[in-house]
């Protein structure tokens, strides 16, 4: 009937390992991307290489790891034991080869499938490994997974260890660029989890003395914590926890063998469960679990033998056993917290008292909200069936078995001007649209009640599904797509204020972006160029020569659906919204969004931007 | 072969890694200033020179464009004004009705509403307007007007109108911008 019926032996293909990796990179490194988001492929490449160095450190070899990233490539140098010289080629280019299959040479390591470095190799336009041990050195070179040069073993005076240098292939990672912020955040997690380890990144040193305690302190304003961080350490477990004064939601950082499990897993749920149990037993009162966990900020890290993850990107732990003759993950964590947290609370009555006060306060707030929440729930139930502001997509972040779940995106648009075009030109599988009407409310200094009372916010919350916890977030990317005019900027401010105020984790974890749309279209009869800045416009005009037609886009409504495809398709330009380390959210919001102050007046007057386009006649 | 391979250069390129990243405080600063500057200079606060907000100046300028001594439909004038004012038609019509209700610069025809009873004017397709003799005498003088190009670069519009009369004091003015606001009572010179 049709062409597709030609299904014969010829259609069945067996791919070479590197071909397979290059064809289906998603299976190995999650998503591709250009480096504008922290889970983009190029960071996974770095991580895969780094994990091996970390495993060396964990086994007690090499206290320093040096990393440098520049335009000419990435290099990672450790001072570990070095790859056994005879097997260097195999380890980086033969699938399913590695030293981590038996637990003899590596206990409790992250690398375990023997896939990571090969994926990096296949996805790099050039890849070099150099291993030194026992005064000898061996180096090999690859291009896109093909061996190009195999040096013989030579004598050398270099210190033992391994050095891996690679350049991500720009055929696969289009226009990629490493962002120092994301790399530095990733490295910080490594040092928190490996006390004593020093990582040197482009000359800057990363080191942590107090492990997870440092993590919580670095990620939160210490003044906003209710009581000093509780920091407990056992053989294969480390936890740190406190409650926040200002944040509403629960915040967990969980790790397995040094791997950040952003989606939690068995260890995180065991931790949450254990915490509730201990607190209830300690105070002898059946507090509601959500009251106990409200505003909690915590980190938990465990070491498991032969961990089982739910995918190659290792973001969710599936193991139930600790391995090595220990009990299950759940009872191990339960026992540890049951003993040590209980002891801690007995020894620190002040902290215990603070926690109890906090729980009682949370209970009171919850009861106050319950009436209005019920109403909102009913409304949300309706909107679940039909959220009138939302045009949903098929794949969501929570669909663990979908390959492209990390691409799930929600566009928040301003009015009808853009939502129509985006709806028409979007990828229905992964891109959803939420349209605002007019300007949203300035919710600075309001309580969480407003999220339920204001219909727009309530629907947005329902669309994102973050009422209970950010864990259930339905889209990996939330993109604010407003016009590039002044009112569009105002809406961006109001929306970011909303997220900062009520869902700061969303921004902390890098889910929020601003869509960049072109400012100008320059075209002649043959070619059309879209320009994102004044400089690009001048270049384009020079390129197209005599009298091109120049359109300045004032609003997204001026862009027709067919054009829009370019701006939200593969070459989408997103600016991540990122917090500053040394700037408190509260000060920022109260200055810009709070009551008018003489300071702000002066700031505005001193910095007025005047645009005048005079005509001299 | 040993070291002439890709040897990443040391930290020098730190800046290149960071250039395109603006933190949230930077975003707030940029956008807030853009928005505040625009609302102050281009929307809510009248200019001290001629006493007009941009939308009012543009309305008067286009009325002068269209002026042939006869009444014009307000909706037509609004449409013409949109060549200079890149915003909604309703906001232009409202601004025009307000000038008309002061009964000084615009001669009105039809139901322009009543500020004392709070009745609204009829829709802009029903009512008509033309410049008053006073306005023609006092507000315009193309020879000494300084010009700027309009938002799309297709036309020119006055930066200020060369008003020969303290209009701001006579008409008063009111506007809430960002960080600043204005309130000037109208004065009766007679």
C-alpha–C-alpha distance, residues A195 and A48, integer Å: 20
Q: Which CATH number is correct for A212-363, 3.30.230.10, 3.40.1280.10, 1.10.167.10, 3.40.50.300? A: 3.30.230.10
Task: Name which of B11, B37, B38 is nearest A202 (Cβ-Cβ).
Answer: B11
Q: Is A293 on the interface with B (CB under 8 A)?
A: no
What is the 8-class DSSP label of residue A224?
G
A-B Cβ pairs (cutoff 8 Å, strict)? 142
In this structure, how many other beta carbons lie within 10 angstroms of the beta carbon of residue A585? 21
Checking if the pLDDT of A258 tops 50, the result is yes
A397 CA to chain B: closest CA distance, Å? Answer: 25
Residue A113: per-residue pLDDT: 56
Q: Which residue, A162, A148, A166, A163, is CA-closest to A84?
A: A162
Residue B109 pLDDT grade (very low, low, confident, very high; cuts 50, 70, 90): very high
Q: Is B148 on the interface with A (CB under 8 A)?
A: yes
Q: Which residue has the higher pLDDT, B74 or A213?
A: B74
Residue A541 pLDDT grade (very low, low, confident, very high; cuts 50, 70, 90): confident
Least confident residue range of A159-173, B19-33, B59-73: B19-33
CB contact under 8 A, A177 and B33: no
Assess contact for A425 and A564: CB atoms under 8 A: yes
Would you call A184 helix, strand, or coil by DSSP?
helix
Assess contact for A240 and A228: CB atoms under 8 A: no
Assess contact for A129 and A164: CB atoms under 8 A: yes
Q: In this predicted model, what pLDDT tens digit does every residue of A26-84 receive, in sequence order?
A: 777 777 777 877 778 888 888 888 888 888 887 777 889 999 988 878 999 988 888 88
- Sequence ranges of the domains in chain B: 54-140+148-160
CB contact under 8 A, A71 and B16: yes
Task: Output the 3-class SS for A63-91.
Answer: CEEEEEEECCEEEEEECCCCCCHHHHHHH
Residue B144: per-residue pLDDT: 93
Residue A450: per-residue pLDDT: 84
Q: Which residue has the higher pLDDT, B164 or A326?
A: B164
Q: Looking at chain B, which residue has its C-alpha nearest residue A176? A: B17
Residue A315: per-residue pLDDT: 77
CB contact under 8 A, B24 and A165: no
Residue B12: per-residue pLDDT: 38
Residue B16 pLDDT grade (very low, low, confident, very high; cuts 50, 70, 90): very low
Residue A516: per-residue pLDDT: 87
User: A387-517+558-606 has which fold?
Assistant: Rossmann fold (3.40.50)
Q: In this predicted model, what pLDDT tens digit does every residue of A122-152 receive, in sequence order?
A: 889 999 988 888 888 888 898 888 888 888 8
Residue B14 pLDDT grade (very low, low, confident, very high; cuts 50, 70, 90): very low
| Contact residues on chain A for B40, CB-CB shorter than 8 A | 604, 608
Task: Choose from B151, B179, B182 for mutation: most chain A CBs within 10 A.
Answer: B179
Task: Choose from B27, B91, B155, B177 for mutation: most chain A CBs within 10 A.
Answer: B27
B9 CA to chain A: closest CA distance, Å? Answer: 6
- Average pLDDT on A576-592 reads 82
% of chain A beyond a pLDDT of 90: 12
Residue A617 pLDDT grade (very low, low, confident, very high; cuts 50, 70, 90): low
Q: In this predicted model, what pLDDT tens digit does every residue of A383-441 receive, in sequence order?
A: 555 677 888 888 888 887 887 888 899 999 987 777 888 888 899 999 999 998 889 99
Output the DSSP codes for B91-146: HHHHHHHHHHHHTSSEEEES---BTTTTBPPPPTTT-EEEE-HHHHHHT--GGG--
Q: Which residue, A187, A226, A148, A152, is CA-closest to A68?
A: A187
Please identify every residue of B annotated as catalytic. Answer: 126
B114 CA to chain A: closest CA distance, Å? Answer: 29
Task: Name which of A202, A577, A615 is nearest B147 (Cβ-Cβ).
Answer: A615
Residue A410: per-residue pLDDT: 93
Task: Name which of A180, A575, A592 is nearest B18 (Cβ-Cβ).
Answer: A180
Residue A48: per-residue pLDDT: 85
Checking if the pLDDT of A313 tops 70, the result is no
Residue B18: per-residue pLDDT: 44
Q: Which residue, A48, A101, A109, A56, is CA-closest to A303?
A: A109
Task: Choose from B4, B5, B181 for mutation: most chain A CBs within 10 A.
Answer: B5
Output the DSSP codes for A90-125: HHHHSTT--S-SSTTT-SS-S--SS-HHHHHHHTEE
Assess contact for A168 and A124: CB atoms under 8 A: yes
Residue with tokens 């397995």: A256
Task: Name which of B12, B40, B156 is nearest A615 (Cβ-Cβ).
Answer: B156
- Sequence ranges of the domains in chain A: 17-206, 212-363, 387-517+558-606, 520-552
Residue B21: per-residue pLDDT: 66
C-alpha–C-alpha distance, residues A253 and A188, integer Å: 13
CB contact under 8 A, A588 and B152: no
Class of domain B54-140+148-160: alpha beta
Would you call A256 helix, strand, or coil by DSSP?
strand
% of chain A beyond a pLDDT of 70: 93
Residue B79 pLDDT grade (very low, low, confident, very high; cuts 50, 70, 90): very high
Task: Name which of B7, B18, B149 is nearest A615 (Cβ-Cβ).
Answer: B149
* Sign of the C-alpha dihedral computed for residues B47, B48, B49 and B51 taken in this order: positive
- Window A:303-342, CB contacts with B under 8 Å: none
What are B86's two structure tokens?
A: 């890149």
- Own/partner contacts of A420-423, CB < 8 Å, gap of 24 or more, are A420/A561, A421/A556, A421/A557, A421/A559, A421/A560, A421/A561, A421/A564, A422/A481, A422/A564, A422/A568, A423/A391
Cα A502 from chain centroid (whole Å) = 19
Residue B72 pLDDT grade (very low, low, confident, very high; cuts 50, 70, 90): very high
Q: Which residue, A319, A224, A208, is CA-closest to A264?
A: A319
C-alpha–C-alpha distance, residues B175 and A342, integer Å: 61
| Contact residues on chain B for A554, CB-CB shorter than 8 A | 86, 151
CB contact under 8 A, B8 and A70: yes
C-alpha–C-alpha distance, residues A447 and A458, integer Å: 14
CB contact under 8 A, B148 and A613: yes
Checking if the pLDDT of B189 tops 90, the result is no
Q: Does domain A17-206 have CATH number 3.30.565.10?
A: yes
List all residues 6 or more positions away from B90 whose beta carbon is below 8 Å from its beta carbon: none
Would you call A484 helix, strand, or coil by DSSP?
coil
Q: In this predicted model, what pLDDT tens digit does every residue of A334-380 receive, in sequence order?
A: 889 988 999 999 999 999 998 998 898 888 888 877 777 777 666 66
Q: In this predicted model, what pLDDT tens digit does every residue of B27-65 receive, in sequence order?
A: 899 899 999 999 999 899 999 889 999 999 999 999 999
Q: Is A489 on the interface with B (CB under 8 A)?
A: yes
């Amino acid at each position: 009937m049709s062409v597709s019926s030609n299904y014969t032996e010829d259609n069945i293909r067996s791919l070479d390992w590197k071909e397979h990796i290059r064809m289906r990179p998603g299976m190995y490194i999650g998503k591709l991307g250009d480096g504008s988001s922290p889970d983009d492929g190029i960071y996974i490449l770095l991580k895969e290489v780094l994990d091996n160095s970390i495993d060396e450190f964990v086994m007690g070899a090499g206290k320093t790891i040096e990393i440098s990233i520049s335009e000419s490539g990435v290099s990672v140098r450790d001072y570990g034991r070095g790859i056994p010289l005879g097997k260097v080629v195999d380890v980086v280019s033969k699938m399913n080869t590695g030293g981590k299959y038996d637990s003899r040479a590596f206990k409790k390591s992250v690398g375990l499938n023997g896939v990571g470095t090969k994926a990096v190799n296949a996805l790099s336009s050039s890849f070099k490994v150099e291993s030194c041990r026992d005064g000898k050195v061996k180096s090999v070179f690859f291009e896109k997974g093909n061996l190009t040069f195999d040096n013989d073993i030579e004598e050398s005076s270099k210190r033992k260890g391994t050095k891996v240098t690679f350049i991500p292939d720009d055929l696969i990672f289009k226009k990629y660029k490493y962002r120092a912020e994301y790399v530095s955040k990733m490295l910080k997690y490594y040092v928190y989890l490996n006390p004593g380890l020093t990582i040197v990144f482009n000359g800057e040193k990363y080191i942590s003395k107090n492990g997870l305690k440092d993590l919580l302190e670095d990620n939160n304003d210490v003044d906003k914590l209710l009581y000093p961080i509780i920091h407990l350490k056992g053989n294969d477990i480390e936890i740190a926890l406190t409650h926040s004064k200002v944040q509403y939601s629960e915040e967990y950082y969980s790790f397995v063998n040094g791997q950040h499990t952003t989606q939690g897993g068995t260890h995180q749920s065991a931790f949450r469960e254990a915490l509730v149990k201990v607190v209830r037993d300690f105070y002898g009162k059946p507090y509601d679990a959500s009251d106990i966990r409200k505003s909690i900020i915590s980190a938990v890290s465990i070491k498991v033998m032969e961990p089982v993850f739910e995918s190659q990107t290792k973001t969710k732990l599936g193991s139930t056993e600790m391995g090595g003759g220990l009990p299950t993950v759940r009872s191990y964590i339960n026992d540890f917290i049951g003993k040590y947290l209980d002891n801690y609370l007995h020894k620190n009555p002040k902290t215990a008292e603070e926690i109890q006060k906090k729980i009682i306060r949370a209970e009171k707030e919850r009861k106050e909200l319950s009436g209005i929440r019920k109403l909102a729930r009913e409304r949300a139930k309706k909107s679940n069936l039909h959220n009138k502001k939302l045009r949903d997509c098929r794949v969501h972040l929570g669909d663990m078995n979908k390959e492209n779940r990390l691409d799930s995106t929600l566009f928040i648009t301003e009015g009808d001007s853009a939502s129509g075009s985006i709806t028409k030109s979007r990828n229905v599988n992964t891109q959803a649209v939420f349209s605002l009407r007019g300007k949203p409310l300035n919710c600075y200094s309001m309580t969480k009640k407003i999220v339920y009372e204001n219909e727009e916010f309530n629907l947005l919350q329902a669309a994102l599904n973050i009422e209970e916890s950010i864990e259930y977030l339905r889209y990996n990317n939330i993109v604010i797509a407003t016009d590039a005019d002044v009112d569009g900027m105002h809406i961006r401010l109001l929306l970011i204020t909303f997220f900062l105020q009520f869902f700061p984790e969303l921004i902390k974890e890098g889910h929020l972006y601003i869509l960049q749309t072109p400012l100008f279209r320059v075209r002649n009869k043959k070619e059309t160029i879209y320009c994102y800045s004044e400089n690009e416009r001048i270049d384009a005009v020079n390129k197209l020569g005599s009298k091109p037609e120049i359109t300045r886009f004032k609003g997204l409504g001026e862009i027709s659906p067919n054009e829009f495809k370019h701006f939200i398709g593969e070459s989408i330009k997103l600016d991540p919204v990122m917090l500053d380390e040394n700037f408190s959210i509260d000060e920022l919001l109260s200055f810009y969004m709070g009551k008018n102050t003489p300071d702000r007046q002066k700031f505005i007057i001193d910095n007025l931007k005047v645009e005048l386009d005079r005509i001299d006649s | 072969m040993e070291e002439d391979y890709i040897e990443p250069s040391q930290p020098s390129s730190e800046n290149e890694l960071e250039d395109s990243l603006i933190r949230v405080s930077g975003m707030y600063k940029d956008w807030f200033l853009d928005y505040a500057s625009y609302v102050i200079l281009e929307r809510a606060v009248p200019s001290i020179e001629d006493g007009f907000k941009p939308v009012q100046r543009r309305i008067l300028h286009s009325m002068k464009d269209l002026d042939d001594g006869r009444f014009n439909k307000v909706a037509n004038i609004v449409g013409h004004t949109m060549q200079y004012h890149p915003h909604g038609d309703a906001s232009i019509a409202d601004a025009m009705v307000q000038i008309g209700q002061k009964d000084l610069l615009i001669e009105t025809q039809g139901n322009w509403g009543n500020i004392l009873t709070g009745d609204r004017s009829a829709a802009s397709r029903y009512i008509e307007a033309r410049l008053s003799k006073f306005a023609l005498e006092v507000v315009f003088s193309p020879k000494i007007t300084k010009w700027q190009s309009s938002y799309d670069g297709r036309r020119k519009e006055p930066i200020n109108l060369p008003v020969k009369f303290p209009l701001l004091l006579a008409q008063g003015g009111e506007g809430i911008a960002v960080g600043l606001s204005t309130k000037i009572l109208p004065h009766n010179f007679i």
